[in-house]
């Protein structure tokens, strides 16, 4: 829900993403507050090396379109300067959960868990949605699920299902943080070090401005096991989670430390962790 070399994030276009990515594989800079119960620690990492020109954009649906109700919603995403279904060749790929299917795009609908699309250009099923207003976001992802944060890499579309009613979760004019990672289950080596990652729209982080806060709790518990506040847009990594189910909370804060209003600016995601179990990385 941590702080090194300052990054200037210039948010442009509908994606509101940074103007460049600064590469690095040093994930060991401690910059977080650790919980005491389990020695859970969150550390800030550096961004992976830049993938120059990588972008993802929706072809279908179009912004404001009304799609049919009563059936699964299909979207089509196009990418540029980005190769899917290949492994991202960095040391980080060997240190955290890494998809054997390779690079892909993340599609996030209404702030829910992302869909991993490995075949852009083909219709992709995002499931059946309730009638009314919906927002979908897409961005390129490395094989280990770290987002590409360069300018214009992200796209979004606001659309309706069945009827033009309701408010879109993503307001193009408002500062928004979009939860991406972690999600699902983490087992074996993939549970030892778990990446925390998000996407920004129409906002930049800075020491005297907006920031992003993570908090991790055991499911059903009130104690915060670990927390960190980020003033630059980088991934973070959590270590020390024992077997169990956890709630990861991500919030966008203003300069006074208040949570920024907006349906996507506070997200709770449940994850399951079992370091002793075996299983394929997600």
> What is the tens place of the pLDDT at every residue in 243-253?
999 999 999 99
Distance CA 125, CA 188 (A): 30
Which residue in this structure is represented by tokens 């991934």?
A: 235
Question: Where does 33-274 sit in CATH, by number?
Answer: 2.60.40.10
pLDDT at 13 over 80: no
Distance CA 220, CA 222 (A): 7
Question: Average pLDDT, stretch 211-240?
Answer: 97
- The residue among 6 and 123 whose pLDDT is bigger is 123
Distance CA 248, CA 261 (A): 19
- Can you give the pLDDT at residue 23? 53
- 10 Å CB burial of residue 59 (0-12, 13-18, 19+) is middle
- Can you give the pLDDT at residue 70? 84
Choice among 25-34, 57-66, 73-82, 257-266 with the minimum mean pLDDT = 25-34
- Can you give the pLDDT at residue 38? 56
Question: Average pLDDT, stretch 233-252?
Answer: 98
List for the chain the helix, strand, coil content (%; round to 5): 5, 40, 55
The distance of Cα 58 from the centroid of its chain, to the nearest Å, equals: 18
pLDDT at 202 over 80: yes
CB 50 within 8 A of CB 21: yes
pLDDT at 24 over 90: no
CB 43 within 8 A of CB 26: no
**Could you tell me what percent of the chain has a pLDDT over 70?**
85
Per DSSP (E only), the strands in the chain are: 33-34, 41-44, 55-60, 66-67, 74-80, 104-109, 115-117, 124-125, 132-141, 155-161, 176-181, 184-187, 193-201, 211-218, 224-230, 236-239, 244-253, 266-274
Choice among 6-10, 56-60, 68-72, 272-276 with the minimum mean pLDDT = 6-10
Q: Specify the pTM.
A: 0.87
Question: Average pLDDT, stretch 187-208?
Answer: 97
- Can you give the pLDDT at residue 36? 42
pLDDT at 37 over 50: no
The distance of Cα 240 from the centroid of its chain, to the nearest Å, equals: 21
Question: Average pLDDT, stretch 119-142?
Answer: 98
Q: Which residues of 29-51 are buried (b: 16+ CB within 10 A; e: fewer)?
A: bebbebbeebebbbbbbbbbbeb
> Domain map of the chain by residue range?
33-274
Confidence of residue 34 (pLDDT cuts 50, 70, 90): very low
- Can you give the pLDDT at residue 128? 96
- The residue among 217 and 69 whose pLDDT is bigger is 217
- Can you give the pLDDT at residue 282? 61
Which residue in this structure is represented by tokens 């600064």?
A: 22
Q: Residue 229 gets which letter from DSSP?
A: E
Which residues have C-beta within 8 Å of that of residue 40, sequence separation ≥ 6? 34, 216, 225, 226, 238, 239, 240, 241
Q: Residue 17 gets which letter from DSSP?
A: B
- Can you give the pLDDT at residue 174? 98
- Can you give the pLDDT at residue 197? 98
> What is the tens place of the pLDDT at every residue in 76-88?
999 999 999 999 9
The distance of Cα 119 from the centroid of its chain, to the nearest Å, equals: 19
């Amino acid at each position: 829900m941590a702080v090194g070399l300052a990054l200037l994030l210039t948010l442009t276009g509908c994606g509101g993403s940074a103007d460049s990515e600064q590469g690095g594989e040093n994930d060991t800079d401690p910059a977080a507050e650790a919980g005491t119960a389990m020695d859970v620690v969150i550390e800030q990492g550096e961004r992976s090396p830049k993938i120059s020109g990588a972008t993802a954009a929706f072809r279908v649906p179009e912004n404001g379109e009304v799609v049919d109700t009563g059936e699964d919603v299909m979207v089509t995403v196009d990418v540029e300067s980005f190769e899917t279904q290949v492994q991202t060749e960095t040391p980080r790929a060997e240190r955290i959960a890494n998809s054997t299917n390779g690079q892909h795009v993340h599609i996030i609908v209404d702030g829910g868990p992302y869909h991993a699309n490995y075949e852009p250009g083909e219709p992709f099923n995002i499931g059946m949605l309730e009638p009314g207003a919906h927002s979908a976001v897409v961005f390129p992802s490395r094989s280990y699920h770290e987002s590409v944060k360069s300018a214009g890499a992200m796209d979004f579309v606001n659309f309706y299902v069945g009827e033009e009613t309701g408010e879109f979760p993503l307001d193009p004019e408002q500062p928004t943080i979009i939860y991406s990672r972690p999600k699902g289950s983490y087992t074996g080596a993939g549970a030892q070090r778990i990446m925390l990652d998000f996407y920004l729209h129409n906002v930049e982080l800075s020491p005297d401005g907006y920031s992003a806060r993570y908090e991790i709790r055991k499911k059903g518990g009130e104690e915060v096991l670990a927390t960190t506040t980020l003033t630059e847009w980088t991934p973070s990594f959590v270590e020390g989670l024992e077997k169990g189910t956890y709630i990861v909370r991500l919030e966008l804060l203003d300069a006074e430390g208040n949570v920024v209003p907006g349906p996507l600016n506070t997200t709770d995601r449940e994850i399951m962790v079992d370091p002793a179990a075996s299983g394929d990385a997600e």
